Amino acid sequence: MNFFNELTISTSFPVCYNLLPHYTAEGQKHAPLMNCVEEALSDGRIGSFFLSDHPAHPQEISSLQLAEDIIAAGGEPLISLALTFYDKNTVIEKLQQYCQMGVEQFLFVSGEYPAMPDNKQTKPAFDLDCVQLLMLLDELGISAGLKNSPEPKNVIGEEINIVKGCAVSPFKSLESEQVWQYEKLKRKIAVGADFVMTQLGYDIRKFDELVRFCTLQNITAPLVGNIFITDRHTAQLIRERNIPGVKMPDRLLQTLIQEENDPPKQFTRSAQTLAVLKGLGYHGTLIGGNSSDFSAVKLVLDEAEGFQSDWQNFLVDLDYSDSSFYYFQKDSRPGLNNNQPSPVEPKHFPYPMYSFSYFVDWMVYLPRGPLFKMTGRFCRFCNGRKFWHSSIWLLEFLSKGPLYGCKMCGDCVLYACGFLCYQSGCPKKMVNGPCGGSINGYCEVFPDKKLCFWVRVYKQMKGVSQHVTFSAPPIPARGSQLNKTSSWINFFLGKDHRKMHFEDD
Ligand code: SF4
Ligand code: SF4
């Protein structure tokens, strides 16, 4: 039985070993990692191994090779596939490489922004996000044409049954970050995510919040809590490297510094966390640390076995709550919430630019808008007439460039992003909600300098509703052929993601 199947069994609480987390990949070598696998398999409590397919790995570590060796040793790999460098075709090829060697379980993440974007080798693509990949896989899975494809090596056929996990961070500090995280989670589930794994975090109240949110939203996909055995050195590393989206609470860091001469305490804390996650209703856990052998994980599992019935007693010690926003109100018990949603910031008056854009959108893009037909006719007239086509392109470029920072991507989604342009506003081009990397509202690429694009979208949308949600359905991956073309013409010709059928009667 694989990790995912075990997650769905209420009496089971499977443990996946975080063998190759990308943030500690330096210094790790293939042979010691395989020793860990063999030790864990002979221990008998772990059968699944989490590997991050990430370009940050040193060259001597190939996730593909490691996955193959894990399968040969009798284990099962769970691959965390970062989409940073993949476009639609290359991600399918990559998935197929893994599938061909027998890998069935994946976690899809947007991936970090690479540290050296100027280097061509590390230039990110950010062509599709997790929501778009899930939509694409769904499309491929149901396409009869692909099932009979003469070139099955380029597609994932119906016989390949993969488990698709998604990540969420409940550990965000601000309302504008946290609400989007959960809205995006709803999107991921709606487009086919099979299980949910938390990003790395230490705030037990936030772990509890995610369980309550899923219950509130009828999300039944299994939840996997992420535990990283953390000593003082690791905690300081997380701080120094500013690992995107990972928040190291001050109080935990201070405790770890004080405990430096008492290393077993870090294992006890992780074992208590494991017991608490199980008590809160998580279905399984991902566990790992910086140690290059299995002993640390083994110690945690050994200790946790004796802790389960006492899990509520650990809440006081593990209460590192320090966020300014929690989705639910605080319970009288430490470290927990009750089921009452917290109040959110009040709605404000719409910003002038938002109102202007909304008005233009209503006039031109909605079929009931007064300029819809006329603009549609004109765009269709321009199509195929070089002079007029270039003129309309120039008009779009000259108007939307200064107003929105338009990059002429050819598939406009301003209407879905609070009339802000994700192409110029988000370094990772996240169009279906934020990545998990923001810290205190700031973008992971420009910490303390530039607000996360989706935090800005949230502020825009507070002008429309107090309870902000996505205003449009999920946006599928953009066709690269639309690059540098006119989104106006594409819209009225039905070439963009909205596939508008313009009838000129
Ligand atoms: S067309 Fe593309 S680049 Fe231009 S504003 Fe719209 S989303 Fe942004
Ligand atoms: S703007 Fe927000 S969503 Fe975009 S890369 Fe930065 S943190 Fe991620």
Report, as an integer, the average pLDDT of 49-55.
84
Enter the pTM of the model.
0.92
* Proximal ligand: closest to the CA of 413: 1
Residue nearest to atom 4 of ligand 2 (CA): 426
474 close to ligand 2 (CB < 6 Angstrom) = no
Strand 337-341 relative to strand 328-330, pairing = antiparallel
Whether residue 116 contacts residue 152, with contact meaning beta carbons closer than 8 Å, is answered with no
Report, as an integer, the average pLDDT of 29-35.
84
Measure 235 CA to ligand 2 centroid, in angstroms.
23
Whether residue 173 contacts residue 440, with contact meaning beta carbons closer than 8 Å, is answered with yes
Give the DSSP H/E element, type plus range, for residue 108: strand 105-109
Report, as an integer, the average pLDDT of 50-61.
71
Number of CB atoms found within 10 A of residue 145's CB: 8
Nearest residue to 203 via CA among 330, 52, 15: 330
The predicted pLDDT at position 21 comes to 67
The alpha carbon of residue 145 and the mean position of all alpha carbons in its chain are separated, in whole angstroms, by: 30
Q: How many residues does the chain have?
A: 505
**Residues with Cβ within 8 Å of residue 246, at least 6 apart in sequence:** 23, 171, 199, 200, 201, 238
**Mean pLDDT in the chain?**
88
Q: Quick one: how many helices (H) and strands (E) in the chain? A: 18, 10
The alpha carbon of residue 201 and the mean position of all alpha carbons in its chain are separated, in whole angstroms, by: 14
For 7-11, 285-289, 374-378, which range has the lowest pLDDT when averaged over its residues?
7-11
431 close to ligand 1 (CB < 6 Angstrom) = no
pLDDT at residue 148 above 60?
no
The Cα–Cα gap between 29 and 359 comes to: 58
The runs of H, that is alpha helices, within 13-127 are: 30-43, 63-73, 88-100
Measure 413 CA to ligand 1 centroid, in angstroms.
6
Q: Which two tokens stand for residue 327?
A: 């989705």
Nearest ligand 1 atom, CA 404: 5
What structural domains and CATH numbers belong to the chain?
Answer: 3-338 (3.20.20.220), 352-492 (no CATH)
426 close to ligand 1 (CB < 6 Angstrom) = no
Tell me: the pLDDT tens digits for 74-132?
999 999 998 888 888 888 888 988 988 899 999 999 888 877 645 555 678 788 999 99
Whether residue 300 contacts residue 271, with contact meaning beta carbons closer than 8 Å, is answered with yes
The Cα–Cα gap between 360 and 109 comes to: 35
Nearest ligand 1 atom, CA 405: 5
Number of CB atoms found within 10 A of residue 386's CB: 8
Tell me: the pLDDT tens digits for 342-379?
999 999 999 999 999 999 999 999 999 999 999 999 99
The predicted pLDDT at position 247 comes to 83
The Cα–Cα gap between 321 and 336 comes to: 10
482 close to ligand 1 (CB < 6 Angstrom) = no
478 close to ligand 1 (CB < 6 Angstrom) = no
How far, in Å, are 85, 162, 181, 432 from residue 187 at the CA level? 23, 19, 10, 8
Whether residue 224 contacts residue 194, with contact meaning beta carbons closer than 8 Å, is answered with no
Position 22 confidence tier, pLDDT thresholds 50, 70, 90: low
